[in-house]
Homo-oligomer: A and B are copies of this chain.
Amino acid sequence: MTQEPVDDIVDATYCALCKHGYAEMTMQNIADECDKSKAALHYHFDSKQALLETFLDALLDNFEDNIADLDGDDPVERLFHLIEYVLTPPADDDGTPDAEFKTAILELKAQAPYESVYRKRLTAFDEYLCARIETLVADGIDEGLVVAERDPEDVATFIKTYLTGAQTRFVATGAPFEESHRLLVEYIRTELLVDGVNVDVSEVPA
- Cβ–Cβ contact A113 & B103, under 8 A: yes
Residues of A22-71 at the interface with B, using a CB-CB cut-off of 8 Å, are 22-23
- Cβ–Cβ contact A168 & B109, under 8 A: yes
Chain A: interface size category: 35 or more
Contact of A161 among B107, B165, B174 (CB under 8 A): B165
Alpha-carbon gap, A22 to B172, bound state (A): 15
- Cβ–Cβ contact B169 & A183, under 8 A: no
Q: Considering only CB atoms, which chain B residue lies closest to A114 in the complex? A: B21
- Cβ–Cβ contact B173 & A123, under 8 A: yes
A139: shortest Cβ distance to chain B, in Å?
21
- Cβ–Cβ contact A126 & B171, under 8 A: no
- Cβ–Cβ contact A171 & B113, under 8 A: yes
The copy count of this chain in the complex is 2
Q: Considering only CB atoms, which chain B residue lies closest to A155 in the complex? A: B183
Q: At the interface, yes or no: A201 with Cβ under 8 Å from chain B? A: no
A177: shortest Cβ distance to chain B, in Å?
11
Alpha-carbon gap, A161 to B126, bound state (A): 17
List of B residues within 8 angstroms of A187 by Cβ:
158, 191
List of B residues within 8 angstroms of A169 by Cβ:
126, 160-161, 164
- Cβ–Cβ contact A106 & B109, under 8 A: yes
Known A-B contacts: A112-B173, A158-B183. Give 16 more (CB < 8 A).
A99-B113, A106-B110, A123-B174, A126-B169, A157-B183, A158-B162, A158-B184, A158-B187, A161-B162, A163-B165, A164-B165, A164-B169, A164-B172, A165-B165, A165-B166, A165-B168
Interface CB pairs A-B, < 8 A, 25:
A21-B114, A22-B110, A99-B113, A100-B113, A106-B106, A106-B109, A109-B110, A110-B110, A122-B172, A122-B173, A126-B169, A126-B173, A154-B183, A154-B186, A157-B179, A158-B184, A160-B169, A161-B166, A161-B175, A161-B180, A164-B164, A164-B168, A164-B172, A165-B168, A168-B168
